[in-house]
Structure 1
Amino acid sequence: MKNSLKYFGIALLVLFGFQALAQEKQARDLDNFRYPDQRGINQFEAPKDTATTFNGVHVRIGGASTIQFQALDHENTGNPVDENGDPISLIEIGNNFNLPTANLDLDVQLYEGVRMHLRTYLSSRHHPEPYVKGGYIQIDKLDFVSEGFLEPLMNNLRIRIGHMENNYGDAHFRRSDNAQAIYNPFVGNLIMDAFTTEVGAEVYYFDDGLIAMLGATNGKLNQAVNNPDATDPSYIAKLGYDTHMNDNLRLRLTGSVYHTNKSANAYLYSADRSGSRYYFVMEPEGASSSGNFRSGRFNPNLRNELTAFMVNPFVKYGGFEFFGTYERVTGKAATELDERSFNQYSGELIYRFGNKENIYVGGRYNLVEGELLGGTEVDITRFNLSAGWFMTKNILAKVEYVNQEYGGFEESDIRNGGKFNGAVVEAIISF
């Protein structure tokens, strides 16, 4: 039944794709909407515009389909053992295609200044069957109350409510979200991949480049009513400035915070259910793609209490762009008395050229360092080189070289002396 649903979903997405191509001249844009194609590159929050094109309820069906060819090798130098004292070996991996992934997006203009978004993973590494990622309602006007209601205030305000991807940091705007990988100039996301979907609300203020946001969630990835005292609310805030100095120079700088005082399981670095792009790397014999779907990533396991800060500078001058990440997270698990901390650093340098900047080359350096449960100091470094070609605004092909190394892990840890490297080719259709 699950396979039937998966293939039906993929067939449905292909059908919608052909329909979209056949109706290319038909208006598919919505108000205050981030484009799901090349035009969405280097958009962050959806634009805030008081102009409207509303002419009745309008449903936009979109989606994405992505596949990779992986040619990676991995190795380690430790002597890891299982709970019975038996040695554990790395799983053997070869060169081949990964599972194709697919998304289905429903975006609906419900009223003037009111929009809905819903994303379903039709096929993903962790869920080969369709799985609802989440959605939200976005309110940029209150004309549904009465025409012009609080208009001077709503010219600058936005409200988002839903079980949604929460707006902590700017790195999540450039990451691959299952099949939606057209915004990411690389194949993989960051080592410590800050991403979560929780039920909550976010209130935004936009004013001539200034961006401010305050949000609160119930702190839960998996919703339930039978554990009311297990988790406290989480709080999110962002402050930044985004401006075009002239036709060639754009500057953006934001700072964000995510805080939860008590959680049954804080998912900020493990919430992505679609899985990582580097299949089976540094995983033991017997690993399964869905059971070990976070391979290549790192979760600091601050499960019950954490505070995370992220600072993101972005500079674009002509075809050159730089995007940086500094992140510090502090917290602890329920079994710990003292807090631990991890730092993450990342810098991306991209050069886009050609017709409408449809070709790019770039590099990224990513470092994570901190203290594991038990006191061991570890570090993980990754270096990426990437090149991409937008065949059309909806079709992207990219190739990446990746090298990731693990330092400081105990000899009994499978990551001791660990390393993986090689190439991954990825093709994306997004509309």
Structure 2
Amino acid sequence: MKRNLLKAGLIAALLTATFGFAQEGKLDNLKPRDKRGLTVFENPKDTVSTFDHLRVKVGGAFALQFQGLKHENNATPVINAAGVNTNQLFDLGNNINLPTANLDLDVALYDGVNLHLRTFLSSRHHNETYVKGGYLQIDKLDFIQKGFAEDIMKYTTIKVGQDQINYGDAQLRRSDNAYAIMNPFVGNYLMDAYATFPFAEIYYRRNGVIVMGGVTNGKLNQTATGGTSPGIYGKIGYDKQVNEDLRVRLTGSAYNIARAPRLDFYNGDRAGSRYYFVMENTAATSSAQMRSGMVDPDFQNTLTSFMINPFVKYKGLEFFGIFESASGRNLTETERRTYNQYAAELLYRFGNDENFYFGGRYNKVDGKIITGEDISVDRYNIGGGWFMTKNILTKLEYVNQKYDGYPTTNIKSDGKFNGFMLEAVISF
């Protein structure tokens, strides 16, 4: 990790010396990655341009957790060929998780044209540095001709790349490896619709109305093979600052892909879960069992899903919700199964510039697993945080998660985990 951080520092110094640094750490049409971006969902559509030459913003994020969790189950012992009980739970202790780190490069290439690239320097899944994803964002077509289609582009944004697609608002508030400053709690949601796909998106935003349409092939790793149909998705919503105290946002998103040899929609987060080794067996490793505590519907061949997200902020009081329904099947199934997700998050932000907050989150997923059982998973979080500066956040939470309906031969049978998590985050 030290070698990766040294590389990042050398790259930052070279880019700064060569191209110049972005003033005040912000480029046009990109949201800040510190406290100022908390309630910003999609990148903003700035009305005033500050572009005068190619500029580079080098940013990053760091996150570290102290984990104090315990777990238990009531699964029937399953003995493998080596004589090991594969349903015996991992020996959890109070300790520090792997420190994670991101490197961000944001480049103003031209007036109204930006590039974003994120690299994971350290993450739970990989030991090596790797590119998470990136995109090109176009908010003006002046590179064709000054003022070209400006009446259309005044409200339109085009994004193309391989990165997380804009399905649902939950993925805009989640922890992305070390970039955890947007998430008021330590863990992400149980059923995490997040993956880095190749995509093209077109946005139209006017007077609070948001309309977005996108297309992707739904694949995390790209190969020139057949058997994949296009994935179509979209979002429609309304986001309005009603008055000085009240903001209201409501969006609905949908995603559909008819056929694919493999889908990574609900298991595409290569950075992994914050709750290390929960409900895993004694042979677990940090990279192989990286999604500990998450719910994967195991839809690998076809998928249709939609998500509704209300968001209300009145003074310091903040509410965010999820209703999601997903149906699909994997390669061995002929009939679709359905999973539903529900979540409600209530926070109160207070202090100078709302530097403190506390609140709770309830999250539930129910569905039918591939062996036919109806299962449900419930989690609630209670906690709070302190923004020491706009770039530094500390969080403390209590988490409690329970599993119901899993067969006795499954390690999650009558399973549960609970305890405290402490997380420190830096983002700039």
TM-score class normalised by the smaller sequence: over 0.9
Equivalent residue number for residue 305 of structure 1: 302
1:29 to 26, 30, 39: 26
Equivalent residue number for residue 85 of structure 2: 87
Shift of 1:87: 2.8
* Mapping for residues 114-125 of structure 1, pairs under 5 Å: 114-125=113-124
Q: Contact (CA 8 Å) 2:69, 2:94: kept in 1 or not? A: yes
Equivalent residue number for residue 98 of structure 2: 99
Find out whether 1:404 has 2:398 as its counterpart. Answer: no
Equivalent residue number for residue 183 of structure 1: 182
Q: Contact (CA 8 Å) 2:209, 2:238: kept in 1 or not? A: yes
Shift of 1:389: 0.2
Gaps of 5+ in 1: 1-5
Q: 1:248 to 1:336 in 2, by over 3 A?
A: same
Equivalent residue number for residue 257 of structure 2: 260
Q: Contact (CA 8 Å) 2:345, 2:362: kept in 1 or not? A: yes
Shift of 1:145: 0.2
Shift of 1:17: 9.3
Secondary structure, counterpart of 2:39 in structure 1: coil
Distance 1:239 1:185 in 2: 25
Shift of 1:218: 1.8
Q: Contact (CA 8 Å) 1:13, 1:63: kept in 2 or not? A: no
- After the TM superposition, which of the residue ranges 71-80 and 110-119 deviates more from structure 2? 71-80
Letter in 2 for 1:8: R
Q: CA offsets, 1:165-184, max 9 Å, x none?
A: 10000000110000000000
Distance 2:335 2:79 in 1: 28
Tell me how large the CA RMSD over aligned residues is: 1.8
Shift of 1:264: 1.2
Equivalent residue number for residue 127 of structure 1: 126
Q: 1:175 to 1:80 in 2, by over 3 A?
A: farther
Shift of 1:403: 0.2
Distance 2:341 2:111 in 1: 41
Shift of 1:50: 3.1
Q: CA offsets, 1:12-71, max 9 Å, x none?
A: 55789999xxx9994321001111000000100011123100010000000001100000
Distance 1:169 1:191 in 2: 14
Find out whether 1:10 has 2:5 as its counterpart. Answer: yes
Secondary structure, counterpart of 1:10 in structure 2: helix
Find out whether 1:394 has 2:357 as its counterpart. Answer: no
Q: Contact (CA 8 Å) 2:337, 2:368: kept in 1 or not? A: yes
Q: CA offsets, 1:383-409, max 9 Å, x none?
A: 101110000000000011000000000
Distance 1:18 1:383 in 2: 43
Find out whether 1:339 has 2:336 as its counterpart. Answer: yes
Find out whether 1:424 has 2:390 as its counterpart. Answer: no
TM-score (norm 1): 0.95
Equivalent residue number for residue 213 of structure 1: 212
TM-score (norm 2): 0.96
Letter in 2 for 1:125: R
Secondary structure, counterpart of 1:172 in structure 2: helix
Distance 1:43 1:197 in 2: 21
Distance 1:373 1:83 in 2: 22
Gaps of 5+ in 2: 15-19
Q: Contact (CA 8 Å) 1:344, 1:367: kept in 2 or not? A: yes
Secondary structure, counterpart of 1:27 in structure 2: helix
Q: CA offsets, 1:54-95, max 9 Å, x none?
A: 010000000001100000000001114155485321010100
